[in-house]
Structure 1
Amino acid sequence: MNKKELKEFLDHKVEVYNTPDFIPHDPIQIPHRYSDPKDIAISGFLVATIAWGNRKSIINNSNKLMDLMDDSPADFISNFQESDLAQFDDFVHRTFNGEDCKMFLRALQDIELKDDGLEHAFAKAYSTSTHLQEGISKFKQRFFEVDHLARTQKHVSDPMKNSSAKRINMFLRWMVRKDQNGVDFGIWDQIPMSALSLPLDVHTGNISRKLKLLKRKQNDAKAVLELDQALRKLDPIDPVKYDFALFGLGAFKEL
């Protein structure tokens, strides 16, 4: 395919997969339970944090997290006392355990109290960076300003250490991308859609290579940069819409 044919092909696949039918089968269903932007952002961040492994397990454990927060994540984060965190002691999703979870809740409360929430914390990190991936790295530094175990740092990826930061890039797609089809929320205005990066994983990476959008063999930060450049040529305003096309092509084995 030449560039024009590739763009037409992928634009069509975006239309096929970027639909509300996507929601019930994806972890994004959890933040879709809420209407308040703070509930959406906090639930979305926690869900994205544990969004690796078996999809059913991700959704089940995300539901457990929301239940432990009385299904009111923003209110819980703003108002919990340290004694309220004991109920999270036994929470576990793969290597994300109760201690990790409690630290995340403390960090989210600190960000809520000092930065007025995740949007402002991410926006501040982005505004002092040359690109969003550097901003993610600065956000990680801010997030871990509260006391924490060294092991917990692995649960927030750092693109400046060559991570693809798949889960944070997915979360930012959810929050920032203005989606006329109602899958992504588009409730944040301080980061432009054009700055977003694709949440690169094994499946989207393999499809991108088959389509000759990506040459690099590793799914790392350098591959994200290479794919960013290719997708922004196809759509400089909304490049990460192609996540739906690449994911769908991989999930349904169309290539």
Structure 2
Amino acid sequence: MDFETLKAFLDEKVEEFYRPEFIETDPIQVPHRFSKKEDIEIAGFLAATIAWGNRASIIKNALYLMQLLDDDPHSFVLHASPAELKRLKKFVHRTFNGDDCVYFIQSLRNIYTSHYGLQKVFEDGFSNGETAWAALAHFHGLFFELPGERTQKHVSNVRKGASAKRLNMYLRWMVREDKAKVDFALWKGIPASALMLPLDVHTGNVGRKLGLLQRKSSDWKAVEEITANLRRFDPQDPIKYDFALFGLGVFEKF
């Protein structure tokens, strides 16, 4: 397809898939259960962290995790007693186990008590280099201020070239704003124009079929390549096309 034809095709697919009904089928439904900013941030981060594998299983386990946090994630992060943390030991999602879960809550407590919260950490990182890469690199460093070598595999490290699919998806949730109100637009210190595509097997395969991605490896360089091509279609909001590429791959088996 030529540029104009491909843009029109993708714009049409954005309109088709980017609707409030999308929430019902996606892990983003988990933070949508909350209204307090910090609850949305924390619930979103935890749901995004376990967003790999079967979608129904992801949503089921993320909702169960919210129950373990008393459906009050910010308060739980700040105030959970050792006994309350211990009950998280029974949580499992694929290779993310109870020990990882406890570490995440303790690290989030450190972020909210020592670094003024998730928004401040990501936005401070962004200000270091005016890129999503800088935001993600800064966040990774602070998240692992506490000892936790085992758990490091559950948070992508862009310094090592990781595509950081789940973290980029989380940033999309927190930053983007438009009429469908799927994403939250909570964080104003990172512009939507700087977001990077949450590259997974679906968006990668569709992107390659459409000529938006030549790189075979799904790493950070691939994220940069496909996002640069999406910026040609909409420099201010390139990641709206995540819905088109993902929908084409998951719902239409493109």
Bin of the TM-score, shorter chain as denominator length: over 0.9
- For residues 29-178 of structure 1, what are the structure 2 equivalents within 5 Å? 29-148=29-148, 150-178=149-177
Letter matched to residue 114 of structure 2? K
- Distance (Å, rounded) in 2 between the aligned partners of 1:54 and 1:185: 24
Q: Which residue of 2 aligns with 1:2?
A: 2
- Distance (Å, rounded) in 1 between the aligned partners of 2:49 and 2:187: 19
Aligned residue for 1:62, secondary structure, equals helix
Deviation at residue 131 of structure 1 after TM alignment: 1.8
Number of residue pairs matched by the alignment: 254
Q: Which residue of 2 aligns with 1:13?
A: 13
**For each residue in 1:214-237, what CA deviation from the matched residue of structure 2 results, as whole angstroms up to 9, or x when unmatched?**
111111111001011101111110
- Distance (Å, rounded) in 1 between the aligned partners of 2:129 and 2:141: 13
In the alignment, does 2:247 pair up with 1:212?
no
Deviation at residue 134 of structure 1 after TM alignment: 2.9
TM value normalised by structure 1: 0.97
Could you list the runs of 4 or more consecutive aligned residues of structure 1 that deviate by over 6 angstroms after TM superposition? none
CA RMSD of aligned residues (A): 1.1
Structure 1 unaligned segments of length 5 or more: list them.
Answer: none
Aligned residue for 2:159, secondary structure, equals helix
Structure 2 unaligned segments of length 5 or more: list them.
Answer: none
Q: Which residue of 2 aligns with 1:221?
A: 220
Letter matched to residue 222 of structure 2? A
My pick for the range that moved more, 152-161 or 122-131, is: 122-131
Aligned residue for 1:191, secondary structure, equals coil
Query: 8 Å contact 1:134–1:160 — kept in the other structure?
Result: no
